[in-house]
């Protein structure tokens, strides 16, 4: 029996980095939407596709395929497939940052619990 690798989404530092990338992408999308009116249609469409592709590249790197299909996080990502908005990018970015903080707390609590048990064995 082989052990499965831990999905990247469970690493706090990776989630924090992804949250920062998504936040930058949100700013880029807001700027693109403001400038869109003055752009030729084909250039505006190319910008939309570039931003959308970057979003999916970031979330696919987090191995969302390994999260159950009925999770709220998967639903958010699938909504982006229909229409990617700055608000949705902000929600996903904030969610990644919140998950990173929660995982950091969980890792610290687990390390503390292990340390306590080791100390009990030494006694």
Q: What are phi and psi of 89, to 5 degrees?
A: -60, -40
pLDDT, tens digit (0-9, with 9 covering 90-100), for 77-90 = 777 777 888 888 89
pLDDT reading at 123 higher than 90: no
pLDDT, position 29: 94
7 vs 73, higher pLDDT: 73
Residues 77/17, Cβ–Cβ less than 8 Å: no
How far is Cα 123 from Cα 117, in angstroms, rounded to an integer?
Answer: 10
Q: What is the DSSP string of 31-44?
A: HHHHHGGGS-HHHH
pLDDT tens digits for range 23-72: 999 999 999 999 988 989 999 999 999 999 998 888 877 766 555 566 66
Q: Is the pLDDT of residue 6 over 70?
A: no
pLDDT for the residue numbered 3: 45
Q: Rounded to the nearest 10 degrees, how much is the dihedral formed by the CA atoms of 27, 72, 19, 51?
A: -40
Looking at residue 42, its pLDDT comes to 92
Considering only residues 82 and 100, tell me which one the structure prediction assigns the higher pLDDT.
100
pLDDT for res 67? 59
């Amino acid at each position: 029996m082989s052990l499965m690798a831990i999905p990247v989404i469970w690493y706090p530092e990776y989630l924090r980095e992804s949250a920062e990338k998504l936040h930058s992408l949100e700013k880029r999308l807001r700027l693109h939407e403001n400038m869109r009116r003055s752009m030729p249609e084909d250039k505006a469409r190319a910008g939309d596709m570039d931003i959308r592709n970057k979003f999916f590249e970031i979330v696919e790197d987090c191995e969302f395929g390994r999260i159950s299909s009925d999770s709220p996080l998967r639903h958010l990502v699938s909504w982006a497939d229909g229409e990617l908005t700055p608000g949705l990018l902000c929600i996903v970015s904030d969610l990644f940052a919140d998950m990173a903080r929660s995982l950091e707390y969980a890792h610290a609590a687990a390390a503390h619990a292990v340390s306590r048990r080791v100390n009990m064995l030494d006694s």
